[in-house]
Amino acid sequence: MSTIMIVEDEISIALELEEMLDSNGYEVINVATTGLEAVSIARTHYPDLILMDIKLPGEMDGIVAARLIRQELGIPSVFLTGYGRSEFVERAKAADSLGYILKPLNEAQILATLEIAIDKSDKEKSVREAREQDTLAITKSAEELENAEKRLYEKSESLKKLVESIRILSSL
């Protein structure tokens, strides 16, 4: 079951979203009403995905909060907003969001977007984990190679000393 955090300052919309998600098998871990609150909750609960409104009260709008959460924690967002102007869309793209849904709420559209976003996020995690494993394997192989080179050098030095000793003994 995927965990979703809702960030929405309109309580009636937040409750409608929570009910919709709960009834479709998602676990809503929390509802935030400001960007700062969203960042704080994400740091504590690590949801799989955030359904984020863009226009929020306070100093931090949803796009800034989503970008910060994505950069710091790797948690993606899908924007749910009443603003379709290109400036908002461009800012949302820069925040590396996985979707942009225009209000009013459309259950089928929200669920389809969330399904695709979660699938994409899962694939991103798999790729990231595979890269980390590859990096660890490469690091381990490099260390093993370095140790082998060191042992080879030490054996080479021992053989040089042995050959020199044989020369000295044979000249006597």
Per residue in 18-71, pLDDT (tens digit) is 999 999 999 999 999 999 999 999 999 999 999 999 999 999 999 999 999 999
Contact 35, 60 (CB under 8 A): yes
Domain ranges of the chain: 3-128
Q: Considering the entire predicted model, what is its pTM?
A: 0.75
Whether 139 has a pLDDT exceeding 90, the answer reads no
Contact 101, 80 (CB under 8 A): yes
Whether 172 has a pLDDT exceeding 80, the answer reads no
Per the structure block, which two tokens stand in for 169?
A: 């003994």
Which runs of E-coded beta strand occur in 33-162?
A: 49-52, 77-81, 100-102
* Residue 72, C-beta contacts closer than 8 angstroms, at least 6 positions apart: 43
Of the candidates 44, 7, 13, the one whose C-alpha atom is nearest the C-alpha of residue 107 is 13
Architecture of domain 3-128: 3-Layer(aba) Sandwich (3.40)
pLDDT band at 154 (very low <50, low <70, confident <90, very high): confident
pLDDT of 77 reads 96
Of the candidates 67, 48, 46, 64, the one whose C-alpha atom is nearest the C-alpha of residue 56 is 64
Pairing of strands 27-32, 3-7: parallel
